[in-house]
Chains A and B, each alone.
Chain A
Amino acid sequence: MTPAKTGNTIRHFRRFVLTLSLSADEDPIQTIEHTAQLARELNSDVACLCVRDSDLLDYAALPFAREFSVHGALTRPLNADDMRNEMNHRASSIHQILEKLTSDQQRQSTFHIVDGRLVEKAMEAAEENDLLVVTVASRTPGHVGPAYENIRRVVEQTRRDLLMLAGAGAPRTGPVVLLVDEDVPSGRTLRIALHVAQSRQSGLDIFIADDVALSRAVRQRCDEIFTLDDNPAPHLSINSLNRCLSRPWRPHPCSLMVLEFDKGLPSLGFLDQSLRIFQAPLLLLRRHINESPSV
């Protein structure tokens, strides 16, 4: 997608869509904070789609429906009406949080509640919006695990860019990290990463796979892009991706990861490692083939 120009501001994404499951136990505040922050930096609007899990509602309507809690092995009977009310109450809280954060940051926002399956609704929402924000509701923070297949389906079928939040915690200061595994990132990806780094007044750390030619090409591309930009270039550091990934126990916290992919979603292992090491939201950007390498 070609970024639009609004006045003197480049708008890479018109609107983010954040899909949230109303049956998840996680606190949505951090998710909404990350989304709103990035939307402001990229001059985008936010749409929030809360999904009442129809499978869960259907199950809760069954007479023998029971929930097994992981906290203390307790069980409780489920009731569809109660479950629906619980979801609606949660949706109301989410709506309030969304309004507060987006109005503080002067962004437009919309809010909808639907019944259905999260993945399907996410894919439907992706038709109307530019960037899909998904959360990974895993019992193990930083671990994509069972959600990987669903995310892969969404990515392949929607052809949209993705912001993945998997237990990243509250927004923090820190550098923007750009992961380069195989190919030189496109100018679009570099500009987005640069733009966010400048907005956050932080550095840009590029982690490149151990390939001399690739590394050289990335440096050259960075020089070209940064030269064209009117704003001062952020502090740039080039690091070894292989070395970093080989030490998953040495965290390198940052404020945002950016990864460009071509055909398919990167592997589960790669995603897991990256999330564990960098502990930040992951912005997955599709490579646009028709884009001129030097913009």
Chain B
Amino acid sequence: MKVSFHYVPGEGFDSDDGKDTVRIYFSQDKKEMRHAPTELLLLAVGSCTSDDVLSILRKMRQEFSSYRCEVSGEKREEHPRMLKYAHIRYIFEGSVDPEKARKAIHLSLRKYCSVSITVERGGVKVIYSLIINGETVDDSVDVEEIKLEEEA
């Protein structure tokens, strides 16, 4: 796996590794519509776990009309300004069984999601919430508290 980017004067960094261009924020150029590196990390966390969760729910024939994921985080005030936490919100509309969605999320965050597990093992607290049809099913669950069946 290898990525690359170059500096676009007055704009920021653009990836140039042959795939669709990712436009990255550079603090000196202040183009606010570009994603900052830590935001990209949050996007990576959310998209990696979403890949697992939707794959598992598809396998379980769960039907949803829409899905979105929000990931929020906060950095420390002092240097190094590491991420303190990443809060992943899985938001479904449709006929999704809460137990099955919970199982999919737990499997992802404890076993399969390489990005969130890398981040968590690096000392970042990872928490999640599950929202189905506007109702909060799980609220701010700490991944450290999750026990998979095979670990019980």
> Is the pairing of A and B real?
no
A→B interface (CB under 8 Å): none
B→A interface (CB under 8 Å): none
